[in-house]
Every structure is written in C-alpha cells, then in structure tokens.
A = this chain, B = another copy of it.
C-alpha cells in the first residue's frame, strides 16, 4: 500500500512496485507485459488503481501525505493506511462474509441485507453490549492514535459548512443565500455542536468513520465495505447516518436526471424502500445480536440486574431510540456538508445544468436542516420517508 521512501505512484512506479512485491506479483501471475492499469479513486484523498494481467488482478491503494484534491498545502498523515488496514482486519474478523478481496456490481436486496448485517455486527461486537469495559478501554486507547483523520472529519463535517472557509463551494450563484443561511442559523449551530461533542467524546463502538455509499462495493451476491481509514471509537449513528444520508441525497438528486421517457420515479421509490429497509433490518439484526449475547461478556447491561423481560425491553427501546436519533442527526450533517462543504457527491455533480442542480440541492439541504433540528420528533424511519415525500412534492 505504501513504500518506505514515499513517492506518489504513477503508472510506471506502480509497475515497478508490483514487480518488487512478491505477493502482488504472484496475484498477477508474474505477467507484466500486458498489464491493464486504471486509476479509479474519487480523487479526494488517495490514489486507487486496478491492475489487471491476463492471469489475475489486484487493487492498489496509496494514501498520500496530503489531501489529494487540495494539494500539499493541506497535509494529512499517510499513516491512515495503517488504521484502514487494522480496521479492515478487525471488522473482517467480526464479519468475515463481507471483507474485500474482489469488487464488482450490485442488486438491491443483497445490498440491504449485507450492509445492515455489516453495520449490526461491526457496531454491536465492538460496543459495551458485547465487550468488557477492560477490552473496550484498551481498544479506545489504541484508536486514539487516529486523531488526525478524526480532525479531518471534525473540520469538513462539523465546522467548515457553518463558517466561511476557502474549501467550501456550492452551486453558485443559485445557492449563495442558502449557504449563507446555514452559516447564520443559530439553532442549526446548536445542534451541530451537540453532534460534534458526541463525535469527539463518545466512544460507543469501533466505527468505520466514512461509511458513505462510495465505500460499499457490490455485486449480485457480494457486498464489500472498504476504506475504513477513518476508523476509531465513536458514535454508532455516525456510520448508519452516513449511509442513510447518502441515500437521501440520491433521492433528491433524481429529478435533476429525469428526461422524457424516464421520470426516475420507480428508482425514487426504490431508494425510499432501501432507506426504510436498511434501518429496519439493521434494527432487527442488531437487537437479535443483543438477545443472542445478553448473557455474554458485555458489561453495559449485566444479566443479574437486567433480569426480567420488562426491563430488557425498556433498555433496548431506549438505546435504539437514541441510536435512531443519532443516525438522523449525523445523516443530516453529512448531507449538509455534501451540498455546501468541500467534497460533494456524484449524484448532484453529474446534473450538468446548474440551475436545475440547485433546485434539487436546495430541497436536500432544506430537508437536512429540518432533520438535524427536529430529529427527536421522528419515531420511525417511515415517518422520515413520509417527510421526504412531502417536501419533494412541494
């Protein structure tokens, strides 16, 4: 993933590197004459190459010591690759069915099943619902070392969108006043501060830290979650919210892609269904793990105390309600930053006509602002979906 004397890998260096690395050379059958090499990263942070030889293939990802889309003026620890690797290893041990080696393309229910499985297992098994406080504190200490990646999130998710920053951009001039309104909304700032505190202070589970839909690689029968270089002990809702927030963005982007003969309505219905089922399946799987391990090593709720069905139901409802509201809050925060912050999403960016794009983005932004402020009023994911449809029809 990285050489010792650091050099950004171009195609020439990449071939040298592969030749000099036995395990990679073996993967490619030691055939280097007809290599196909494609750079496939989104360009924000890293270089990602797919390398194909006649007898095999591999993916090479390189962490740069700065943020690629900004340049060397914004340095960034390339040691994040280490945290990516150990988080993959840790999550892979917990959820071996969904750990990378090969990446392809998708169908729907598999994705929903798999991603809810991934979130339920990785979050449950690294929380105090399963860990002793001894193991938990030791793991928390270990991941404190990934502070630089946490700080990047703090800046681009919880800070920059709410202040003037050279990194921010939006569909100008259409959203100029919308961006300004975000910077002047005291109640919104109150809510984002609460989420930032939770992100910085609450070591609830080993989270992926960047679980947007672009971190999920899917085929018809396999779902692989990659890129946990932001991994650390933080609030569970940050992962679930990242995924759900990206789906909500996708929903509001569809009208910008509608053309004669394809109004995108069936796809919008599919996205709503995916949002609903992702949360509901996660809920079901997570609480099933809880039931399965209620007499296990976890020390949050000792069996000798939480010893009757009534109290078990009460604590579960309370825990899941807070997690649901965290999910909505963090999801909304991630939506806002994708519209007025530094890094945007393809769903919107690919709408060529700026005016049309701005209309879609404004709907998503208004929905996110409301969700962040009023998240505690939502009792179920179907209420969230209804609110999306209502705002969309206005």
Binding site for B on A (CB under 8 A): 128, 133-134, 136-138, 140-142, 144-145, 147-148, 150-151, 154, 159, 162-164, 183, 186-187, 189-190, 193-194, 196-197, 200-204, 299-302, 304-308, 310-311, 314-315, 318
* CB < 8 Å neighbour of A300 from B140, B144, B197, B318: B197
B305 touches A163 (CB 8 A): yes
Chain B contacts for A197, CB-based, 8 A: 128, 300
Extra pairs beyond A140-B140, A187-B314, A193-B315 (7, CB < 8 Å):
A128-B201, A133-B147, A140-B144, A141-B141, A159-B302, A163-B304, A200-B299
CB distance from A241 to the nearest CB of B (A): 18
Among A150, A201, A318: residue with most chain B CB under 10 A = A201
Residue in chain B with minimal CB distance to A187: B314
Closest 10 CB pairs of A and B: A141-B144, A163-B304, A137-B147, A186-B311, A141-B141, A137-B144, A162-B305, A163-B305, A201-B203, A190-B314
Among A141, A305, A306: residue with most chain B CB under 10 A = A305
B133 touches A154 (CB 8 A): yes
B200 touches A301 (CB 8 A): no
Give the interface SS of chain A, mostly helix, strand, loop or mixed.
helix
> Whole-angstrom distance between the alpha carbons of A299 and B151 in the complex?
10
> Whole-angstrom distance between the alpha carbons of A75 and B106 in the complex?
55
Chain B contacts for A201, CB-based, 8 A: 128, 202-204
B137 touches A150 (CB 8 A): yes
A141 touches B136 (CB 8 A): no
Chain B contacts for A136, CB-based, 8 A: 200
